[in-house]
Amino acid sequence: MTQRIARIVSLVLGLILGLVTMAHAEDGYDLWLRYRPLPVARAQVYSPHLTSVVAGDSPMLSAARSELQRGVSGFFGRELPAATSIGDGALVIGTPAEQPVIKALNLPLSGLGDEGYLIRSVTVDGHKVTVIAANSDRGSLYGAFRLLRHIQTGQSIDKLDIADAPKIKVRVLNHWDNLDSSVERGYAGASIWDWWRLPDLKDQRYTDYARANASVGINGTVVNNVNAKALSLTAPYIVKTAALADSLRPYGIKIYLSARFSSPMELGGLKTADPLDPAVRAWWQAKTDEIYKAIPDFGGFLVKANSEGQPGPGDYHRSHADGANMLAEALAPHGGIVMWRAFVYSEHDASDRAKQAYNEFHPLDGQFADNVLVQIKNGPIDFQPREPFSPLFGAMPKTREMMEFQITKEYTGQATHLVYLAPMFEETLKADTFAKGSGSTVARIIDGSLEKHALTGMAGVANIGANRNWTGSDFDQANWYAFGRLAWNPDASSRDIATDWVHMTFSDDPAFVTPVVDMMMNSREAMADYMTPLGLHHQMATGHHYGPGPWVHELARPEWNPVYYNKADAGGIGFDRTKTGSDALAQYNPRAAKTWSDPSKMDQRYLLWFHHLSWDYRLQDGHTLWDGLVMRYQSGVDQVGVMQTTWAGLAPYIDAQRFAAVSQNLTIQRREAQWWRDASISYFQSKSGLPLPAGYQAPALPLEAYEALTFPYAPGQGH
């Protein structure tokens, strides 16, 4: 009997333990806003500074108060009571206009603008309190998230004096989400927007999405695909969008819509969409008024026009400025903006796809309305593992230029490869255009400081879906987080951002943080090596862009084919963009062009982007181009192996669920890196005819086997 009771007790305890484990399972939903219990020693230090919260009742201040209460509950296992009076350890949040305490302190808020904040430890009537002060409720909200980050990353909060404000005004996510819930280039499941059940269903997920964005300062979202459907602008969908706006507004998120240029014809029955036609202009003005009636704080339109088959002003022999300005005119009375994409290329230009955006937009400098941002991809092709910055940056001083980064990893490993993109973003932002001499970085152009533009912006193509962990894999959350941090401050360090993210998302144990941050910081370079080393680009397979396809040559448009970019033949490899080739270098400031003009002196990571060189060309390290290419492919694979080994040793520091998920993805990444290496080397060896360097393994399969692979159901092809 005693043994039987012991077995029953053991089973019950096991069940209880299992339930507790399930209750604390980490599925990634909380992102970097986990607010887990602090170690006792740290909790004892922080807790006296967080005894109550004094805040107004506006929607944003209520959101700030709620977030602080959520954080305190998670950190300390107790409530943070709302209060009206000041006591020791109180948090006082708000603006001078609504908080007499803040007004009396006469804090230096004038330089913080509409969205900045000040966090300061002060004494009020003998009580030690923490003040989060701002000129607007939105600034106060951002300050609340900053204080929580301070605690999550283990920083002192007893003598705070932080002042911060965003350097960029419009900080938006571009969702390539479709009305049927598919997501173009999405690798995290279906769209989070449930258009079918809107406006009646207001999912908690919308609020949590807004919280995550506000925590990193993102203040806008474009909720539909740039390959837009006119249906998005119909009355039923405006009502649905208004319901989304209601969910996002308390967290300072404005709604924007991608607008299909031919909508006046498709919805209004007009015979033209010519932007200079009075009836077309009147239609857009009426439609814009209709949207603002439903969504008073609507942000404006994003437009993809005359690109990849989309309609646009070019259909009527009008310019991009004509099209953008027509929409800008309709939006201006409401304070709205136009984000007009510069991603354009034509099958009728055989010279160099990399030159086309510059050729179309550079002549239009000074012709765009004041409420137009020209949205430019970071590089001149299309979100490749490595590209030089777009030559448009710095070439249009009278035009407000906006950065477009791709957070979703269309060409950079999709949802399985661990690739931290912030070093790529930082590389672009720190690049010097020399537009006004040394120090004319891309960051200074898009933050407006170089040309004194007030309207500035940065967009990120979202990687968010309906998967429980939002992004399809745990480490892809870091790219969403890093985009927000860099949109707030384009001069920020990608390593510092990674360090904060690891602390907040996984663990603050240095034995975990240091190796994981190193792994993240090396991951982009590893990916570039096993996919497109030495400046190769656009070597992905057709359509889905999954896996290698350097041999692809049969597509209808030349610039869709990888052979167009690698130009590999018996004589060599690479795209000549010097005077002897397409002369794309001439689109850059001469000082910027000089950094890439001499293959013997330039950064070798861009070598084959700008130069076609013989297989026996000697690299700076003394190896031939062929040997160096093979070595870099192998180095990328080896680095993934190092990542696997590093991660395998970190199991004691994090939950089993996420440890296993990352381990499985690294296994996939290692296999696919090897595939990239083998397939690419096999193809290029068929052109060079050269043996592999001594000690390097031959590809596992013949070239024909790699060429025969097909993937009709690869993810990310939603349209």
Q: How many Cβ atoms sit within 10 Å of the Cβ of residue 311? A: 19
Catalytic residue among 382, 401, 672, 678: 382
Strands of 581-705 (E only): list them: 613-614
Q: In the block, which residue shows the tokens 């390097």?
A: 696
Which amino acid does the sequence have at 614?
Answer: S
**CA 145/CA 68 separation, integer angstroms:** 8
CA distances from 74 to 34, 91, 152 (A): 8, 17, 11
* CA neighbor of 478 nearest in space, from 510, 503, 453: 503
**CA 360/CA 380 separation, integer angstroms:** 13
**Residues constituting the chain:** 719
Do 407 and 460 contact (CB within 8 A), yes or no? yes
**Helix, strand, coil shares, percent, the chain, to 5:** 45, 10, 45
For 156, how many CA atoms within 13 A lie in the half-sphere containing its CB?
5
**CA 465/CA 192 separation, integer angstroms:** 5
The pair of structure tokens assigned to 377 is 């991809």
Map residue 173 onto helix, strand or coil.
strand
410 is catalytic: yes
Catalytic residue among 27, 308, 347, 603: 308
The pair of structure tokens assigned to 391 is 């030559």
Q: How many Cβ atoms sit within 10 Å of the Cβ of residue 235? A: 11
Catalytic residue among 26, 177, 322, 410: 410
184 is catalytic: no
The pair of structure tokens assigned to 589 is 């400031």
The pair of structure tokens assigned to 346 is 């034509």
Q: Give one DSSP letter per residue of 432-479, joined into a string.
A: B--BTBTT-BHHHHHTSTTTT-S--EEEEE----SSTTSSSSGGGHHH
**CA 476/CA 518 separation, integer angstroms:** 16
Q: How many Cβ atoms sit within 10 Å of the Cβ of residue 20? A: 10
Which amino acid does the sequence have at 493?
Answer: S
* CA neighbor of 360 nearest in space, from 474, 623, 368: 368
308 is catalytic: yes
Rg for the chain, CA atoms, rounded: 27
The pair of structure tokens assigned to 619 is 């690299």
Q: How many Cβ atoms sit within 10 Å of the Cβ of residue 681? A: 24
Map residue 1 onto helix, strand or coil.
coil
Q: Give 173's strand partners.
A: 221, 460
Helices 477-488, 422-430: inter-axial angle, 10-degree rounding = 30
CA angle centred on 713, ends 711 and 714, rounded to 5° = 70
Catalytic residue numbers read 308, 382, 410
